């Protein structure tokens, strides 16, 4: 049985719907038969190996990674740690013979002591459009479960740290328990480089709000409250319950557009792209593309139902496609332990930055050498 698989490691239960995030947690290891169009150019060891799961963390909650690129193409990796001191790495000049590695421990995050009823743990790292600051966000959701079923009310909390990228030092941090938030919340960065906390109460369509935090102070402004109202087609739309405040916060953007536009589409996409895979029975349609729109990524997943009725993946393969010819230029075996990756464009070339075990950054260059008239 085959299926298309989409990379969506950090979806938010919010109005914005399907979220296409950075290529994040979806890929595992390059196939030994990788074509000449995918060439390794560097291997950079950042620090000690950090497997995605361990005997003490079988769920892998503390083995995740959050990746980002700065406007100057510096690579950032933000990593949870069970001791509560999470780590931010920066690699400058990853395309040069002598890259520079910076390491910043960030204490005060969630640790193994917070695991009781911990239902989810998410790390994210954002970079402001001007490249001055990075914001490291760790979000935990706690929900008691009995025999797998939720019992009582959940709780969400985030720890935020602002890092000055010029000095690579933390300049401000806080926990969101200082705000009057509903049961659940999520953290993202809007187009103007403000941190936004969107919060909602489970099963209460009238209890929704968001706050905008200025940088680097993390000072919260006013609170825009809204309800979700269903139309004749049973589609939900946000309607402000504090209309004057929401208007002041959003200027000329409607509330619905503001909430939808943050991550409703991947940062780079090609409308109407149809892949043409000459080597496989299945053609995984790419929905992820490199920043220069030269390459697309599609994933083929094979599996079966286990005796418990759950889905078991037996094989997964990632295919790279040329946007110019729509033909495959390379593939990966992604069946095993998932690492994390980012597409990047540097000096007119396309690269794949591939992080494994939270410690080894491998750089690959993607090359489209096929003639344009391939059919």
Residue 122 to residue 21: CA distance in whole angstroms: 13
In whole angstroms, what separates CA 116 from the centre of its chain? 25
**In this predicted structure, what is the pLDDT of residue 193?**
92
**In this predicted structure, what is the pLDDT of residue 278?**
67
pLDDT over 70 percentage in the chain: 81
Q: 289-300 pLDDT, tens per residue?
A: 898 999 988 888
Q: State mean pLDDT over 245-266.
A: 82
User: Is residue 271 over pLDDT 90?
Assistant: no
**In this predicted structure, what is the pLDDT of residue 78?**
96
User: Is residue 237 over pLDDT 80?
Assistant: yes
Give every CB contact of residue 171 below 8 A, 6+ residues apart in sequence.
Answer: 133, 162, 163, 164, 216
Q: 327-365 pLDDT, tens per residue?
A: 888 887 777 656 587 899 888 899 999 888 888 999 999
User: Is residue 104 over pLDDT 60?
Assistant: yes
pLDDT band at 13 (very low <50, low <70, confident <90, very high): very low
Residue 113 to residue 82: CA distance in whole angstroms: 8
DSSP H/E element including 246: helix 243-250
Cα dihedral angle (10, 14, 20, 25), rounded to 10 degrees? 10
Place of tokens 């099963």: 203
User: Is residue 146 over pLDDT 90?
Assistant: no
Residue 150 to residue 322: CA distance in whole angstroms: 46
- The pTM for the full model equals 0.82
**In this predicted structure, what is the pLDDT of residue 3?**
45
CB 323 within 8 A of CB 295: yes
**In this predicted structure, what is the pLDDT of residue 189?**
93
Give the β-pairing of 75-79 and 86-92.
antiparallel
Strands in 31-117 per DSSP E: 38-45, 66-69, 75-79, 86-92, 100-106
pLDDT band at 21 (very low <50, low <70, confident <90, very high): very low
Q: 189-202 pLDDT, tens per residue?
A: 998 899 999 999 98
284 against 21, higher pLDDT: 284
Q: What is the DSSP secondary structure assignment for residue 276, as one 8-state letter?
A: B
């Amino acid at each position: 049985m085959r299926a298309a698989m989409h990379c969506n490691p950090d979806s938010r239960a919010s109005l914005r719907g399907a979220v296409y995030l950075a290529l994040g947690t979806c890929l595992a290891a390059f196939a030994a038969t990788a074509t000449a169009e995918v060439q390794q150019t560097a291997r950079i060891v950042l620090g000690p190996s950090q497997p995605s799961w361990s005997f003490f963390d079988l769920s892998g909650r503390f083995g995740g990674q959050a990746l980002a690129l700065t406007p100057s193409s510096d690579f950032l990796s933000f990593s949870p740690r069970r001791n509560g001191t999470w780590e931010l790495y920066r690699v400058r000049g990853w395309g040069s013979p002598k890259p520079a590695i910076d390491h910043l421990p960030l204490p005060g995050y969630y640790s193994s002591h917070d695991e009781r009823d911990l239902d989810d743990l998410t790390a994210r790292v954002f970079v402001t459009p001007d490249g001055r600051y990075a914001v490291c966000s760790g979000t935990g959701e706690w929900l008691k479960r009995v025999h797998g079923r939720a019992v009582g009310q959940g709780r969400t909390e985030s720890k935020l740290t602002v890092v000055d990228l010029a000095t690579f030092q933390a300049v401000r941090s806080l926990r969101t328990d200082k705000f009057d938030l509903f049961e659940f919340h999520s953290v993202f960065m809007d187009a103007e480089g403000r941190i936004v906390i969107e919060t909602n109460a489970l099963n209460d369509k009238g209890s929704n709000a968001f706050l905008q935090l200025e940088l680097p102070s993390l000072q919260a402004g006013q609170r825009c409250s809204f309800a979700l109202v269903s139309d004749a087609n049973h589609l939900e739309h946000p309607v402000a319950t504090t209309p004057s405040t929401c208007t002041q916060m959003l200027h000329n953007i409607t509330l619905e557009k503001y909430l939808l536009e943050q991550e409703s589409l991947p940062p780079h996409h090609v409308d109407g792209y149809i892949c043409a895979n000459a080597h496989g029975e299945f053609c995984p349609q790419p929905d992820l593309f490199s920043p220069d729109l030269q390459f697309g990524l599609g994933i083929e997943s094979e599996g079966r139902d286990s005796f418990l009725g759950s889905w078991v993946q037996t094989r997964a393969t990632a295919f790279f496609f040329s946007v110019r010819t729509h033909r495959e230029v390379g593939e990966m075996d992604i069946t095993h332990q998932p690492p994390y990756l980012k597409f990047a464009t540097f000096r007119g070339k396309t690269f794949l930055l591939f992080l494994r075990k939270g410690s080894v950054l491998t750089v690959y260059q993607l090359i489209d050498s096929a003639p344009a008239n391939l059919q």
